[in-house]
Amino acid sequence: MSKLGLYVHIPFCRQKCLYCDFSSYSGVEHLFTAYTTALCQQIADQGGKLYKPLVDTVYIGGGTPSVLPVPLLEQIVASLEDNFTIESGAEISMEANPGTVTRQQLAALKAAGINRLSFGVQSFNDDLLTGLGRIHQTADSLAVVEYAQAVGFNNISIDLMYGLPGQTVAGFFRELEQAAALQTTHISVYGLKLEEGTPLATAAEQGLLALPDEAAEEAMYSAMSEFLPSQGLARYEISNFARPGFECRHNLKYWHYQPYLGLGAAAHSFLNRQRTGTVTGIKEYISRVTTGMSPVVMEETLAQDESMAEYIFLALRTTEGMRLNHFTRYFGVDFFDLFGNVFARLQRQGLLEADDERIWLTDTGMKFGNIVFRSFLPD
């Protein structure tokens, strides 16, 4: 079995961003300690149940993990180390919001064993950040990256967004230049999605947002696709760019269909070809774990055809694409026997390519990934 990845969900944020539909809550600081206690209990339960399995990646995400006081984060990391066999050299990532960490806190997190940071920078334009409801400004982002580098983190990622209200192509290009100048090892760039029910989506429905048009969004996409690799940050997934050797090993597990265990509220797992998810409410999570009830409320075993579509979809997100022998090993059937016709059509459309070992998305295919992914779904 592949080594396990652990995802730890911290469902707290200082303030809810206007576009966010993630499972995160603000104004519940009084639950920090009880949540951490329950989380450590679940970590101990799961570590024991799985006989302290070998782990090579840990990802502490959210929410905003960095809103938790450092002693609680230290408690979580110590609990993971006590209950799982964390390989030496494991990647241990934590998400942090630039407005929530000081240099001293970063030094303490490094000492606690965190060796990769992912900062939710999102933009280097203060007006755009305000429009998103972010709590930080550009100066905070510049400062935290500098602090993190100064205290010895050598694996730092920043997230950026494009397609924002008020964002221009020229402005986004300047943001890419600022991002590259920080010399981080990894950059993720996501297009804004207007999720139903969020304040930003409502404002868009009411015609209150100056969103970039389709041509501008395409120009932004092209700008990042060309500029970041020219700065030594090679694309390795649709939205992710890294210097050689700094690809996020944890996220690669998702795209490579490898097992991971989710811990905390609203956390998903993929183990033994089964997907499970825990309860989203913080109080319910605490109550379930501390009374010996399972926090798992969703279990799903995909049918073989759905599982194949998902496997292909995830693998094709990476620039390496899908290894044909891995597909055969996983499903016991040949990819071309099942999908030869679909592949031929997508290849004629210039969206997919293949050699003897793998299939992958062309540059056009990356841009129109959804068309490709839909083609592999069962009828």
What are the residues binding ligand SF4 (CB under 6 A)? 13, 16-17, 20, 22, 24, 62-64, 97, 120
CB 254 within 8 A of CB 248: no
- Measured from the CB of residue 284, what is the shortest distance to ligand SF4 in angstroms? 19
For residue 91, count other CB atoms closer than 10 A to its CB.
20
Residue 29 or 82 with smaller CB distance to ligand SF4: 29
Residue 16 or 367 with smaller CB distance to ligand SF4: 16
Residue 64 or 184 with smaller CB distance to ligand SF4: 64
- Measured from the CB of residue 52, what is the shortest distance to ligand SF4 in angstroms? 31
- Measured from the CB of residue 185, what is the shortest distance to ligand SF4 in angstroms? 21
In sequence order, which residues have a C-beta less than 8 Å from that of residue 90 and are 6 or more positions away? 55, 56, 57, 58
For residue 294, count other CB atoms closer than 10 A to its CB.
12
268-271 sheet: strands from edge to edge: 234-237, 240-242, 186-191, 156-162, 116-122, 85-96, 54-62, 4-10, 260-263, 268-271, 274-278, 296-300
Residue 196 or 356 with smaller CB distance to ligand SF4: 196
Residue 17 or 70 with smaller CB distance to ligand SF4: 17
SS3 letters across 237-276: ECCEEECCCCCCHHHHHHHCCCCEEEECCCCEEEECCEEE
Residue 63 or 212 with smaller CB distance to ligand SF4: 63
- Measured from the CB of residue 205, what is the shortest distance to ligand SF4 in angstroms? 20
| Pair type for strands 156-162 and 116-122 | parallel
- Measured from the CB of residue 276, what is the shortest distance to ligand SF4 in angstroms? 22
Residue 13 or 289 with smaller CB distance to ligand SF4: 13
- Measured from the CB of residue 94, what is the shortest distance to ligand SF4 in angstroms? 13
For residue 25, give the DSSP letter: B
- Measured from the CB of residue 120, what is the shortest distance to ligand SF4 in angstroms? 6
Please tell me the total number of residues recorded for the chain in this structure: 379
User: Is the peptide bond preceding residue 207 cis, with omega within 30 degrees of 0?
Assistant: no
Rounded to 5 degrees, φ, ψ at 363 are -60, -40
In terms of Cα–Cα distance, which of 310, 147, 307, 319 is closest to 241?
319
